[in-house]
Amino acid sequence: MKKTLVTLLALVFVLGIAGTALAAPANPFVDVPAKHWAYGAVAQLAKAGIVDGYGDGSFRGDRSMTRYEMAQVVAKAMAKSDKADAEQKALIDKLAVEFAAELNNLGVRVAKLEANQPNIQFKGAAWIRYTADDFTSGPSSVSAQYRLRLDGTAKVDDKTSFNFRFVNREPDKAHLGNDTWQTFGESGQSGAKGTYGNQNNIDRINLTTKLGDLNMTLGRQSMYVDQQNMIMDSGAFSFDGVKLNTKFGDLGFTVQYGRFYKGAAIDSNVAGSTRLSDLDVTSAAIDSKLGKFAWAVSYTNMNNPVVDTAAFKWTLFDTKYTFDTKWTLQALYLHNGAEKIWGNLGTNAYAAKLTFGDFVLNKTAAQNLQFQYVNAKGNATWFGFSGLDTSIGGKESQCVDWKMYLLQYNYAFSKSFNASLIYAQVDPTDAADKANEKKHIRVVTNVLF
């Protein structure tokens, strides 16, 4: 059953790509209907000498025009609007709104249209994924899950905005881990510890403002540690506090300070869970880009003020090299200088990601192939914070000393719709975690709106 489902999913994925590649593009040059009011409006402007029509100096009102051609005429009228009277300016504004999309493609800003935009802007993303897990010890499983995130931004003034985010599920401090996916058919996410997770919730609210050259975010906001999201999933985890960032020449500086989670609980059988229950965050980072090479160095202290002991003192080196338009290599090294939680296990973590293809999936048929390797020692970090594809909640989140190999193919069906086909393998290196060893195949679809 599992192999059949995965085979079918992979087949649908490949056929979808083929169908998209063979589809004929739509014709953007649609005629403006013969009786459309725009013809009369342009004729009036032409008679007044504000527009002269086509490149040969004539306005041919005896034949239909495409919307693109009409937008060219409107653009000329906008350029000469200082010569128009009040009635003609109103006519130009009306035409600009009508052909705003075509004018935008021509690089012409429509100020009146921009002024009429609502003060609150929304954007969102939705994911659906199907996973076949094959555990070395224990039963295998097939699951279907979804995730929704909706971001809202309200402009307060020219320098300040109010931001919030709605999610269908956020990490629950009663069972702290990266468990932000909802299983189809369940009102709550069922696990070994029962049903947990905050459902349909606003998980972030903050203000962003600019103070001279300093950018400040105040409130509940994303918790950022590394660009690969290997150490901390910035899309899932938040903190309450302040974030400051600025640039001096080629150097960027970022500082974060606040409370991560108060009263959080991790499975009681995990050593050091008390130390992880209340965490304050202090971090500082420097980043820069030198030609094809980008780098960042950061220090993050996650301290428990109740017992006055740090759970993590992360020193991190994050790099990225762009070889050409198709190849990039990212590498990360992390050391945890805090007192060890899990016996004599190591305190370092390493990761590398090689990408071939389009760096951004922002157009139809954009695609890339990624290979990622991770080696995380037991005392380096907490697996449950990670944004790696293998983090799905459940028993493997208790691996504390592990390696991971991941191969991922990404394809864009359009600018706003893409999908991924993923193979991953998790190899716990500690004998106590061997029951969590697994391989999985996953298909993920992502829609932006």
DSSP conformation letters of 299-357: EEEEEETTTTEEEEEEEEEEEEEE-SSSEEEEEEEEEE-SPPSSTT---EEEEEEEEEE
Whether 6 is covered by a domain: the verdict is no
Give a yes or no: residue 17 inside a domain: no
Same domain, 197 and 220: yes
Asked if residue 5 is part of any domain, the answer here is no
Residue 20 lies inside a defined structural domain of this protein: no
280: its two tokens? 């304050």
**Phi, psi for 130 (deg, rounded to 5):** -125, 130
Residue 124 near residue 449 (C-beta atoms within 8 A) = yes
In a domain, 286, yes or no: yes
Verify that 125 and 96 share a domain, yes or no: no
Q: Encoding tokens for residue 176? A: 């702290």
25, part of any domain: no
Cβ contact 176:241 at 8 Å? no
What confidence score (pLDDT) does residue 199 get? 78
Name the residue with tokens 């609502």. Answer: 118
Number of domains observed in the structure of the chain: 2
Unique residue bearing structure tokens 């995380």? 376
Which of these three, 60, 87, 115, is where a domain ends? 115
Query: How high is the mean pLDDT in each 10-residue block of the chain (449 residues)?
Result: 51 48 44 80 82 50 71 83 83 86 71 62 93 74 91 92 94 76 70 52 94 95 88 91 94 95 62 69 95 95 85 94 94 93 84 94 93 89 76 46 89 95 83 69 94
Q: In the numeric block, which tokens belong to residue 92? A: 């130009």
Rounded to an integer, what distance in angstroms lies between the CA atom of residue 56 and that of residue 42?
16
Shared domain check, 140 and 108: no
What is the structure's pLDDT at 117?
A: 59
Residues 200 and 301 in one domain: yes
Q: Given this model, what pLDDT does residue 399 score?
A: 54
The answer to whether the beta carbons of residues 379 and 348 sit under 8 Å apart is: no
Residues 265 and 315 in one domain: yes
Q: Is 219 left (phi over 0), alpha (psi -120 to 50) or beta?
A: left
Domain of 85? 37-115
Strands 189-191 and 141-155, sheet pairing? unpaired
If DSSP codes are grouped into helix, strand and coil, which group holds residue 384?
helix
Identify the pLDDT of residue 425. Answer: 86
State the CATH number of the domain containing residue 350. Answer: 2.40.160.10
Domain finish residue from 53, 80, 115: 115
Phi, psi of 222 (to 5 degrees): -65, 145
Tokens of 4: 């059949």
Same domain, 110 and 126: no
Whether 79 and 137 map to the same domain: the answer is no
What is the pLDDT at residue 93?
A: 86
Out of 99, 115, 131, pick the residue that ends a domain: 115
Q: State whether 270 and 417 are in the same domain.
A: yes
Are residues 206 and 66 both part of a single domain?
Answer: no
Domain co-membership, 77 together with 145: no
Q: Quick one: 344 and 375 in the same domain?
A: yes
**Closest to 304 measured CA to CA, from 335, 347, 266:** 266
Distance CA 44, CA 36 (A): 14
In a domain, 30, yes or no: no
Q: Which residues of 282-315 are buried (b: 16+ CB within 10 A; e: fewer)?
A: ebebebeeeeeebebebebbbbbeeeeebbbbbe
Nearest to 261 by CA among 316, 306, 230: 306
Do residues 126 and 95 both lie within one domain?
Answer: no
Helices (H), 344-432: none
168 and 197 Cβ atoms separated by less than 8 Å: no
Residue 407, in any domain of the structure: yes
What token pair was written down for 33? Answer: 């209907």
